[in-house]
Structure 1
Amino acid sequence: MLMSVDNGFRERLNKRIKLELYVEGEHVNIQNLKMRDDIREQQQVQKYLAKDITGYPTPVEFHITELTHVTNKTSLQEIWKSEGFMGFEQDSLSWWSLKINEADIRAAEERFLESLIPDRSKEEIAAQQPFLSAFTTSPAFKNESSRYGNYRFKFPLTELMKAYKKQMCEDEEPVLRVYETKLFKQEIEYVVLVHSPQFNEKFGKYPLLTSSPLVSYEGNQIIWKAQAICETHRYQLDIHGKKAVTQNMYPYQYYVWDQLSLVFHIKEDEVLTFPQRKLKASLSCCGIDPINLSNGENCSSIKEAEKLLESLQDDDEKEDEKEENALEEVKMEAD
């Protein structure tokens, strides 16, 4: 018989030695979080969660087709050496975030407006000025920096799922489940678990993702209903007739922000592998956020990070270098 999860929030220290509250098997929306007795006395989250901020776009539905894995200098070298991604220590999970670009934000803005003002004319639609980028300012939308290291891998969701299906699921479809909701001082993290069908018994206590009110997986894309996209609220959203406009907020307000993570279960001593040339093509450098949650060594600057990235040689480049060296030796002998 499958076990059920305990539906109460509990405390734990995570691997970065930070206190977090978590509840397994649920994606709890912000309004319900505000009303839960088991976190009402938790001052570290109530400072921001208890606020009542209005006049911003929520929820906003993002349709995401790319995932990103950010890591530090130490872990980059391990990924490069093993040619792929391993489960993180005892939990055997590889953590990934959503990669949200400008096109994703514009598409989400249009969906939001269609829901809010469904009967706009073509002229009114054309007259609408972009506004959502003024609100998508939380760390979930930052691509130029990260709290977790200098190096960002970016993969199409379809490619990542295809590799996982082939290597970890014996060509069966991966299973997606509601893993947990995590609360920090100002951050809410919703976590989706991806695992092989052979581990249905191990993870059966977690509901299937179809039960989540905030996340779904449809048509090879993740659909996320983001509730708090600002972190720092500097603007308000007003509706004038059939047009959305932004107004400055005085004074600005700090609030919670939410994000979504996907964790891929990878058995101990196994690696989700990719050709090194693919790893390098997917890799870019980013700055370190002032809030640095990375474990391990980081580069002191983007320039140093880029220099290390350039030094990584994939198998094709190593072959090319060998051929060039061999040709140079032949030339020297001929001379």
Structure 2
Amino acid sequence: MAANREWTKYENSRGYDVTCCEGEHVSLSELTDDPGVDNRYLRNKNIPFYPQSVLFRVSEVCHVTEESGVWGIFDDGGFQIPHHDEYDKENFLWWSLSVTKEDIADAEENFLEKLFPDGWGYNQWPFLEKFTTSPAFQSKSRYGNFRFTFRLRKLLSLYATQFCYNSAPVFRVLDTKIYKKEIMYSVLVHPRHIKYYRQYPRLPINSDDVCGYFQGNMLWRCQAPSACLGHRLVVDKEESTVHARPLKNKKYYVWDHVAVALYMEPGWVLEVDREQLYSSVSVCEVTKRNLLREPDHALSEHKASEVLEDIAIYYDLD
């Protein structure tokens, strides 16, 4: 497969270099061996042993935006692609997986079941939280102070009702994108009557692939949960336990995550009742290195809370 794999290199709208493979979710091991991928973090040697291929079953997704974006969403009564598409030529509304502490605990149990089929020792303590430290698991965001969180099943129901003639939308493998330290696996969701994307394979329904979908859950087999490894995974076969041993020197590596792209034509609005919008939005801290575009800028959490209060007053929301 690698011999026939085509990689496209370009600079995205934010000025970052991207290496992209369309129609395939390329695993970390394949990326490491692929001669078409030139990434020094992937080539890092002596990476400490860490939990790999950890299966997460995620039922929630989130969309993060800045101050102008959150006002626009409430003005529109829902979500749409930007009015001015000089930043993004694709008709996609982007969502990220919202991984909860319960999701991490469930993934840890699945990892232990695979490692110790006969059961693990009584001295087993939580360990996965020491490794799930990449931006994919953080409450902070690079994209703004306002996070909308929805159950994926609910979001898909709204999408199907409004754009799919009440039929189930289609899930497809969109691409694998590689940035400097980031691997993004994109999943495309589109109405069944949209035929533009027939060349992209259907998303699997099982959990053996990098990413899949089953009964309202995104199935993500995370391969690199730490952008910066500060622990080594130690397996004690005699005690049937594992633990995270702190490292003296941290090791930088790539991290991976999943993004869901809802197909949206210009003018389409994924309508959500404003009361529901308000109950789904929360304030989050913006990371020091962020992807905000001028004139928007990072707000303090106090200021962001005041923005939501102003929205509630303006639209008479509880």
Q: TM-score, normalised by structure 1?
A: 0.87
SS where residue 15 of structure 2 aligns? Answer: coil
Give the structure 1 partner of residue 277 of structure 2.
279
For residue 168 of structure 2, the aligned residue among 137, 149, 173 is: 173
Secondary structure in structure 1 of the residue aligned to 2:41:
helix
The partner residue of 1:63 within 42, 57, 67 is: 57
Alignment partner, residue 110 of structure 1:
109
Q: Which residue of 1 aligns with 2:297?
A: 298
- CA distance in 1 between counterparts of 2:15 and 2:276 reads 33
Matched, 1:81 2:75: yes
SS at match of 1:310: helix
Using a 3 Å threshold, how does the CA distance of structure 1 residues 113 and 270 change in structure 2: closer, same or farther?
same
Q: Structure 1 residues 176, 12: CA separation in 2 closer, same or farther (over 3 Å shift)?
A: same
> Hey, what's the Cα distance between the residues in 1 that align with 2:299 and 2:159?
33
For residue 150 of structure 1, what is the aligned residue in structure 2?
Answer: 145
Kindly provide the amino acid, as one letter, of the partner of residue 224 in structure 2. Answer: A
Q: Counterpart amino acid of 1:97?
A: S
Q: What RMSD in Å do the two structures reach over aligned CA positions?
A: 1.8
Within a 5 Å distance, the mapping from 1:1-150 to structure 2 comes to: 7-39=5-37, 42=38, 46-52=39-45, 53-88=47-82, 89=85, 90-120=89-119, 124=121, 126-143=122-139, 145-150=140-145
Does structure 1 conserve the Cα–Cα contact (< 8 Å) formed by 2:145 and 2:299? no
**Matched-pair contact (CA < 8 Å) for 2:71–2:311:** no
The whole-number CA distance in structure 2 between the counterparts of 1:247 and 1:316 is 51
Contact 1:276–1:314, Cα closer than 8 Å, also in 2: no
CA drift at 1:267: 1.2
Whether 1:186 aligns to 2:181 is yes
Decide whether the 8 Å contact of 2:20 with 2:178 is kept in 1. yes
What is the alpha-carbon distance in structure 1 between the residues aligned to residue 304 and residue 265 of structure 2?
30
Larger radius of gyration: 1
| Structure 1 residue 127 displacement after superposition | 3.0
Equivalence for 1:202: 196
Q: State the SS of the aligned residue for 2:24.
A: coil
Maintained 8 Å contact 1:238/1:245: yes
Q: Does 1:164 align with 2:162?
A: no
Moved over 2 A (4+): 87-90, 313-318
| Matching residue of 2:308 | 309
Identity in percent: 33
Label 1:299 to 1:50 Cα distance change in 2 as closer, same or farther (>3 A): closer
For structure 2, which runs of at least 5 residues remain unmatched after alignment? none
Letter in 1 for 2:71: Q
Residues 38, 299 of structure 1: alpha-carbon distance in 2 compared, 3 angstrom cutoff: closer
Preserved CA contact (<8 Å) 1:87 1:265: no
Distance, in Å, in 1 between the alignment partners of 2:10 and 2:20 is 8
TM-score scaled to structure 2, two decimals?
A: 0.91
Read off the aligned partner of 1:254 and give its amino acid letter: Y
Q: Distance in 2 between matches of 1:103 and 1:282?
A: 19
Q: What does the per-residue CA deviation read over 1:208-256, in whole Å, with 9 as the maximum and x for residues that have no partner?
A: 1128821111111111000000111110111112011111123210000
Q: Give how far 1:315 is off.
A: 8.7
Deviations along 1:71-92, one digit per CA (max 9) or x if unpaired, are: 1111111111111111243311
Q: Give the Cα separation in 2 of the matches to 1:257 and 1:16.
A: 19
Query: SS of the counterpart of 2:29?
Result: helix
SS state of the match for residue 47, structure 1? coil
**Helix, strand or coil: the match of 2:193?**
helix
Answer 1 or 2: which has greater helix percent: 1
Separation of aligned partners in 2, 1:172 and 1:87:
22
1:117, CA displacement in angstroms? 1.0
Give distance in 2, aligned partners of 1:77 and 1:15.
23
SS at match of 1:38: coil
1:265 aligned to 2:263?
yes
